[in-house]
A and B are shown apart, each in its own frame.
Chain A
Amino acid sequence: MENKKKGRPLVTVFIKYRELGLLIILAVLIGIVGLRNSLFIKPSNLLFIVEDTSIMAILAAGMLCVLLVGSIDISISAIMALSAMVTGVIMRSFLTSTETVVIVDGVEKLVTLRESLPLALLVIIGVATGAAIGLVNGFLIAYGKVLPIVTTLGMQYIVYGLSHIVSNSTAVYRKDMSDAFFQFSRSSFLGINSKIWIMLGVYVLLFLFITYLRKGRWLYAVGSNAEAAQMRGIPVQRTIVMAHVVMGALAGLAGLLYASHDTKVTQDMASGYEMYVIAACVIGGVAVTGGAGKLQGVLLGALTIGVINNGLTMLRLTGNSEFWKKAIQGALILIAVISNVVLQRIMTRQSLARRNI
């Protein structure tokens, strides 16, 4: 007994804060790339990585809600495309462009000012579109009892088709975007890009929701044991729908940011993005079976993927690293996921061993 009082071994810290293992993996990754290319660990570059990862992090936060209730959503990239497309088409139809002469450094320049609906309204349209698709997903899964993967796989096809119909098979380009929308992902506050601020806002709100509000705790309850939750009086089906609506709304927001950042919206925008998001969640320690996972872990998972993506370019492995990038990306994600599992196994074994003593 005295031993215990003296001090806690390092292992217990790891057991309490499971995200630490991930933090180590992240630090090792950054260290390896930093050794090879010192430009990588400059603060400005690290900030750039966060900025680059913010869209994925927003999506991963939504995916956490969906995974927590034991569901999954692979239609998010389609939702991103649809909400960006709906917003883009509406923006294009209300667009008025005026040409004015601006004097920059004593030189006259012809500048086109593009104005459309106010940015706030556009964002509301995009988020509402995403939330509507999320609502359909949730209803099909919770009330229609269609398996989540099947539902969202089908919805992926349907929603991409819808974005094709909405846009009448045209793309939205920079010339169709209002200046405010163009600046949406570019403006900065206190030297930090707006995408990071939006991501932080989403994370703080969602953290408060998941941790302190009753409805947020329901997510965990439904995911870990739906039957017990039902007995306890928790509206299981409504909670599942709610999780999907949150996911859809965040996917809509992410779609707008992606479109503004990319300065174009095509019908197959962001295809394949959902895989990175799910990988980020799994690296972050979210159980795909539901009921377990933390927002902190998800953020770290998304950053790990971001570091892998950006670090590979910085590594300059071969003359033409573009060919190597894809394969190494897959391998690294696999290694990150597996090493997280191995670390957790070691921790569990240690904690069990301690309890025996």
Chain B
Amino acid sequence: MPKRGRGIGFFLHWEWLLIVMIAAVYLFFGAQMPQNYTFVKLLNQTRVYMVDVGFMALGALLILIMGDIDISVAATAALSCTVMVVVYSEGNGAPFALALVCALATGAACGAFNGLLVTRFKELFPMIITLSTQTLYRGTAYIILKDQSSGNFPDWFNSGLGYGSVTILGLQVPYMLLCILSVFPIFYIWIHRTGSGRRLLSVGANITAARYSGIRTDRIKVTMFTLNGLLAAVAGIFLTARIGSVKYTIGTGYEMQAIAIAVLGGASTAGGKGSVVGVLLALILMTCLKNGLMLLFNDAFILNLAIGLLLIGIVLGPNLVRAVQNIRTLQRQRRQATTSITGGA
């Protein structure tokens, strides 16, 4: 990349772009609705827009880094919650902790199944495999729960975890927000600072090269898919805590939101790229945007329209700037070449 054109190059840095976007969105809605769109209220709304999708987005990040894609996460979350609700309310006295463990185990099993299929049948695009397992998992949840919703959880789970908050520096911070925020540093250190994270990135960048340099790519893939399933189960648990009941349709469409957030955060569906900080910033951006749009329009379709525009725009913008830069460099080089030729002659 040429060193010139630094003014634009600064904004090409993804994280800065996201921070500028967050500031813009926050100031815009803050000016529109000074009463309703405040930091305190936004903090309270994070439990709706940030927590469950955030866990899924972290999982989507892992999968996207490897160059794969997983559409079955929301269905995995639904199946995990279903197992949890069945173990707790129909198991006659099974402790809630056991139900939670069962939910996590279900999520991990679903993820591992995806991973095994993806590594065993390499001719198939992961999208196709997770497409069919999505129907499979949600269908299984449908078989178990039928058409009804179920949920009768302990108090600490619903009103405590779901709607409780702790006062930090005079601000009401939801417990859920603390949970997800505590996960991000761990992921950051793991992916960007350890050898195992580096191996993960190398699998996505060039899987053949990674295999020839002694990395067990299949094992990493299966592990990541399992971890992704586990994160989906965690997301499902938080979703259940917030909603208070489980139906087989729980979390429909969340998989696309998770992928959208991971892509906004700088991950590429081609693999080998991704940043935990980017995902966190994208998550904050989405929270600010969704809350503002919901307050302004109160219409899910408008919300989705804006998210779609944002998703394409934020990926397209830097590409266009880069294309213009490339054309300019080419022109400059051409000019230099012609002047050197004519100058020599």
Which A residues form the contact surface with B (CB < 8 A)?
72, 140, 144-147, 149-151, 153-162, 164-165, 169, 267, 275, 278-279, 282, 287-289, 323-331, 333-334, 337-338, 341, 344-345
CA distance A338 to B307 in the complex (A): 35
Question: What residues on A are CB-neighbors of B69 within 8 Å?
Answer: 149
- For window 300-315 of chain B, which residues contact chain A by CB distance below 8 Å? 301-302, 304-309, 311-312, 315
Give chain B nearest CB distance to A264 CB in angstroms.
18
Q: Using a Cβ–Cβ cut-off of 8 Å, how many residues does chain B contribute to the interface with A?
A: 46
In-complex Cβ contact of B304 among A160, A326, A331 (8 A): A160
Query: Is B304 a contact partner of A323 (Cβ separation < 8 A)?
Result: no
**Residues 99-142 of chain B, each 1 if its beta carbon lies under 8 Å from chain A, else 0:** 00000000000000000010001011101110111111111101
Which B residues form the contact surface with A (CB < 8 A)?
69, 71, 117, 121, 123-125, 127-129, 131-140, 142-143, 146, 256, 259-260, 263, 268-270, 299, 301-302, 304-309, 311-312, 315-316, 319-320, 323
Residue of A nearest to B263 (CB): A150
Question: What residues on A are CB-neighbors of B270 within 8 Å?
Answer: 147
Query: Is A147 a contact partner of B269 (Cβ separation < 8 A)?
Result: yes
In-complex Cβ contact of B308 among A161, A164, A334, A345 (8 A): A161
Query: Is A146 a contact partner of B302 (Cβ separation < 8 A)?
Result: no
Q: Point out which of B121, B124, B128 has the most chain A C-beta atoms below 10 A from its C-beta.
A: B128
Question: What residues on A are CB-neighbors of B312 within 8 Å?
Answer: 140, 146, 150-151, 154-155, 158
Query: Is B315 a contact partner of A146 (Cβ separation < 8 A)?
Result: yes
Query: Is A278 a contact partner of B121 (Cβ separation < 8 A)?
Result: no
Given A146-B315, A275-B71, 14 extra CB contacts under 8 A: A145-B323, A150-B263, A153-B311, A156-B308, A159-B308, A161-B306, A164-B299, A323-B142, A327-B136, A327-B143, A329-B139, A330-B136, A337-B128, A341-B124
Query: Is A288 a contact partner of B139 (Cβ separation < 8 A)?
Result: no
CA distance A154 to B263 in the complex (A): 11
Question: What residues on A are CB-neighbors of B260 within 8 Å?
Answer: 153-154
In-complex Cβ contact of A155 among B124, B259, B308 (8 A): B308
Query: Is B135 a contact partner of A330 (Cβ separation < 8 A)?
Result: yes
CA distance A110 to B259 in the complex (A): 54
Query: Is A154 a contact partner of B125 (Cβ separation < 8 A)?
Result: no
The main secondary structure of chain B at its interface with chain A is: helix
Number of CB contacts from chain A to chain B under 8 A:
140
Give chain A nearest CB distance to B256 CB in angstroms.
6
Residue of B nearest to A271 (CB): B253
In-complex Cβ contact of A144 among B133, B135, B320 (8 A): B320
Question: What residues on B are CB-neighbors of A327 within 8 Å?
Answer: 135-136, 138-140, 142-143
Query: Is A330 a contact partner of B308 (Cβ separation < 8 A)?
Result: no
Question: What residues on A are CB-neighbors of B139 within 8 Å?
Answer: 324-330
In-complex Cβ contact of A334 among B129, B307, B316 (8 A): B129
Residue pairs across A and B with Cβ atoms less than 8 A apart, 28 shown, are: A145-B323, A146-B316, A147-B269, A149-B69, A149-B127, A153-B311, A154-B312, A156-B308, A157-B305, A157-B308, A158-B309, A160-B305, A164-B301, A165-B301, A278-B131, A287-B123, A288-B124, A288-B125, A324-B143, A326-B139, A327-B136, A327-B138, A327-B140, A330-B134, A333-B132, A338-B121, A338-B124, A345-B123
Q: Point out which of A287, A327, A345 has the most chain B C-beta atoms below 10 A from its C-beta.
A: A327
Query: Is B124 a contact partner of A337 (Cβ separation < 8 A)?
Result: yes
Question: What residues on A are CB-neighbors of B124 within 8 Å?
Answer: 282, 288, 337-338, 341
Decide: A282 near B128, CB < 8 A? Known: A155-B312, A158-B308: yes
CA distance A137 to B57 in the complex (A): 25
Query: Is A330 a contact partner of B301 (Cβ separation < 8 A)?
Result: no
Give chain B nearest CB distance to A289 CB in angstroms.
8
Question: What residues on B are CB-neighbors of A344 within 8 Å?
Answer: 123
Give chain A nearest CB distance to B237 CB in angstroms.
22
In-complex Cβ contact of A282 among B125, B133, B140, B146 (8 A): B125
CA distance A328 to B309 in the complex (A): 36
Residue of A nearest to B317 (CB): A144
Question: What residues on B are CB-neighbors of A169 within 8 Å?
Answer: 299, 301
Give chain A nearest CB distance to B320 CB in angstroms.
7
Residue of B nearest to A289 (CB): B125
Query: Is B319 a contact partner of A146 (Cβ separation < 8 A)?
Result: yes
Residue of A nearest to B121 (CB): A341
Residue of A nearest to B309 (CB): A158
Question: What residues on B are CB-neighbors of A326 within 8 Å?
Answer: 135, 138-139, 142
Q: Point out which of A158, A160, A267 has the most chain B C-beta atoms below 10 A from its C-beta.
A: A158
Question: What residues on A are CB-neighbors of B263 within 8 Å?
Answer: 150
Query: Is A323 a contact partner of B301 (Cβ separation < 8 A)?
Result: no
CA distance A331 to B135 in the complex (A): 8
CA distance A158 to B127 in the complex (A): 22
Query: Is A288 a contact partner of B128 (Cβ separation < 8 A)?
Result: yes
Q: Which A-B residue pairs are the 5 nearest by beta carbons?
A: A161-B305, A327-B139, A330-B135, A157-B308, A326-B139
Q: Point out which of B135, B143, B268 has the most chain A C-beta atoms below 10 A from its C-beta.
A: B135
Question: What residues on A are CB-neighbors of B138 within 8 Å?
Answer: 326-327, 330
Give chain A nearest CB distance to B99 CB in angstroms.
22
Query: Is A153 a contact partner of B256 (Cβ separation < 8 A)?
Result: yes
Q: Point out which of A155, A160, A323 has the most chain B C-beta atoms below 10 A from its C-beta.
A: A323
In-complex Cβ contact of B136 among A150, A334, A341 (8 A): A334
Question: What residues on A are CB-neighbors of B305 within 8 Å?
Answer: 157-158, 160-162, 164-165
Query: Is B316 a contact partner of A144 (Cβ separation < 8 A)?
Result: yes
Give chain A nearest CB distance to B106 CB in angstroms.
15
CA distance A340 to B131 in the complex (A): 17
Query: Is A161 a contact partner of B136 (Cβ separation < 8 A)?
Result: no
